[in-house]
Chains A and B, each alone.
Chain A
Amino acid sequence: MVQIIERKTWDAIVIGSGITGGWAAKELTEKGLETLVLEAGPPIVPERDYSEHTPPWQMPYRGLRDRKHQAERQPIQSRAAACDEWSGKFFVDDIDNPYSVGEGGQDFLWIRARIVGGRSLLWGRQSYRWSDLDFGANARDGYGTDWPIRYRDLAPWYDHVESFVGIAGQPENMPQLPDGKFLPPIAQSCMEEKVREGLDRAFGGTRRFTPARVAVLTKHHLGRRACHYCGICRRGCISRSYFSSLNATLPAAEETGRLTVRPNSVVRNLVYDEERDRVSGVHLIDAESMESIEVRGRIVFLCASTIESARILLNSATPRFAEGLANSSGQVGRNLMDHIFQVGANGNLEGLEDKTTFGRRPNSCYLPRFVNLDGDRAEATREKDFLRGFGYQCGARRGTLWQGGIGQPGFGADYKASLRGLAPWRLGFTGFGENLPNPDNRVTIDPDLEDRWGIPAARITMSYGENEEAMREAIQTRAAEMLEALGAKNIRTFNRNSLPGFAIHEMGTARMGRDPATSVLNGWCQSWDVPNLFVTDGAAMASSACQNPSLTYMALTARACDYAVRQMRRLEL
């Protein structure tokens, strides 16, 4: 029931201010649209809320976390390593924001932020282009539906977003991981250089150990300062050296004078005008006053993140769209994917005992996919046990000795001296593996559960299948095999069977496609059913690839904004 109706009609309403909402705000305002951004969470004030320079000794529990608060209010969020004593406040309150897990599915970990900036404050900044190995994957093996776009459609938009974001990276000329518009890379440690050479030698250049490509500035860029290597970015960054909505896109949008951000605005549903066959506005609950408010706009960009966007569409059912707005295909909520994670191997490397690194870098290394490649490499790289592929986040580092100190007997001056210094170099590989689209992995609405604002909650039903299981095995053996080739000692494989959601790369719940009967969006992230509605977050993805997805969300968002504004000018919207 909507009580307050604001009379102003905005050119555009963007729902969410995270990575994709920030981009939509920037692109739409720069193209001249008066834009309202609705954000469920509170504002973040960098000077007050960022804490990247707060050392452990100024934290009440020195980094051991506010354990009791987390047990009470963040039992799910606190399972993520990033939800620590500093950054915990950026994650949602699990009690206010409940969801349920559907029968037959695995437990699902839904890790999120409800603040201005969304998860752009928290992300690991790893930024990789996808290639036609990815955009052609569904067509090739028949899982999911074909992507309506190919790499050439997105390439200029990758250029566009990278030029603004600033990505530190090293060109490698590998077709499966296209190079981008890079700032200088963050150099690998001397041990990592040896690893790179060693792997090139042992595997003929097919397993390339490259500096991780990250959205961090290695030099001054568009008014933002170069990184000063203070370390743990997810606490904020007052010099704005890593990309977040707060550090980059929202200030750019603000500069146009056409941006209005409305924090504490929890979107309940979209308002559909049956006669005009358009979305006419958005119904929100003011998180503080609990007032129910309707705002109006000519176009709507849904950027609330994969699961939230599906939830909003499903909560926006109308007589015409009884199964959820824009859902004539029945695909809204389906095909939920994440990456398999927490699986890999590590081992000790000898040599360079007298060397270490200085500074705390905001990245490590990456090893791109080398299995099930396409084209003339298809035959040589084919895997018989699974489809698609995986890449590794990896790196060699030396831990401090004191951390193992409790296991060492003794005390006193000699004991203290024995804890000084560093452990041997340890090289680790953590796989990120592609997850096949599966219509049974889905988001629905739980009829019996509401959030703090009385909005029906999501129910998530998802499990990994045999392909993912088989890939987990390969991720371990391939990593161990590389460690062996490098002569590593004390090699250990690990498989913590991470639950779905835990890679925090959830996507797919409103896939784009070529056919309105089997997909929710066309190739421009535009709803087939409701032409002035765009969904440009991870919901739009038709497959999951194995690379971190956010850079691709950004490119898709910018491209959709360009299309939407062109359509508006032609009066087609």
Chain B
Amino acid sequence: MTLPQSDRPADRIPRRQALRVIGGAAALPLLPEELFANAHLAHVHLHQQKPGGEPAPLTVLTEHQARTLSAIAERILPTTDTPGAGDAEIPGFVDRLLAGWLPDAARDHLLAQLDRFDDRCRERHPDAAGFLDLNESAQDELLTEAQDEALAERNDRAFSRNPNRLHEQPFFDLVKWLTLFGYYTSEAGMKSELGYRIVPGRWDPCVDLEDA
């Protein structure tokens, strides 16, 4: 290894730099408790704000595909006394998976199958522009059909969420998995269905299920 020869004054690290390394955390214990609580909330808040208001624009899905996915998700986990998967930003999540996560084969499979499913909706209901246009019972009928096909196709094999096996999964199962995972990791799903709190604030080793 050859590096340029030079000589430097002693003590190359200014104290400012050393402080910066641990400075943020070092400041905390000096705050009184109430102030700390605020700083803490600010931190929580900061993280909650991160992604910003508007959802990111779609990069892979068309607007129509996105709305179709959202509508399918809403039928799988519909709005009841809690929000449905239609409110769980499933298209944004799936779009990010398509763009940067799914292997090519799985991406192509999902997009092709989504379009095929919509084609079938139009074949059955020539007046409709696709799944989106159907009433709920017509939608459920087509999804039931897709579910039956998936069951036959799977032939007792369990669903595999291994990314390299996703392109082998039947369409209905794939969309159902994306819906479940997307919903129960969404703000709507986690807060309403799972009672999730970012900062529980305490540990209680024994509570009634109803209160949880």
Contacts and interface: CB of A to CB of B under 8 A. Distances in A.
Interface of A: 1, 3-8, 43, 45-47, 50-51, 53-58, 60-64, 66-68, 116, 186-190, 192-193, 220, 222-225, 227-230, 238-240, 246-247, 250-251, 254-255, 259-263, 290-293, 353-361, 400, 402-403, 405-407, 409-413, 415-417, 419-422, 454
Which residue, of A224, A230, A407, has the highest number of chain B Cβ atoms within 10 A? Answer: A230
B205 A412 contact: no
Interface string B119-162: 00000000000000000000010010001000100000011010
A62 B181 contact: yes
A406 B159 contact: yes
B200 interface: yes
A260 B3 contact: no
B29 A223 contact: yes
Interface of B: 1-13, 15, 18-22, 24-26, 28-30, 33, 36, 40, 43-44, 46-48, 50-51, 75-78, 80, 84, 89, 93, 96-97, 100-101, 140, 143, 147, 151, 158-159, 161, 163, 173, 176-177, 180-182, 184-187, 190, 193-194, 196, 198-212
B97 A229 contact: no
Contacts of B3: 1, 3, 290-292
A407 B156 CA distance: 10
B78 A359 contact: no
13 contacts: A3-B3, A3-B4, A47-B46, A53-B48, A53-B199, A62-B182, A64-B101, A64-B181, A225-B40, A230-B198, A291-B3, A358-B204, A412-B75
B204 to A, nearest CB: 4
Given A3-B3, A43-B20, A402 B180 contact: yes
A67 B180 contact: no
A340 to B, nearest CB: 27
A190 B100 CA distance: 43
A356 B212 CA distance: 7
Contact of B184 (A189, A402, A413): A402
B203 to A, nearest CB: 4
A7 B8 CA distance: 8
Contacts, number: 226
A412 B76 contact: yes
A286 to B, nearest CB: 9
A406 B180 contact: yes
A353 B76 CA distance: 28
A296 to B, nearest CB: 9
Contact of B93 (A62, A192, A262, A293): A62
Nearest to A398: B209
B48 A58 contact: yes
Contact of A230 (B33, B84, B200, B211): B200
A56 B190 contact: yes
B12 A6 contact: yes
B46 to A, nearest CB: 7
B42 to A, nearest CB: 9
Given A60-B100, A62-B93, A67-B101, A421 B209 contact: yes
A63 B173 CA distance: 20
Contact of A58 (B19, B24, B51, B96): B51
B177 A1 contact: no
Contacts of B211: 358
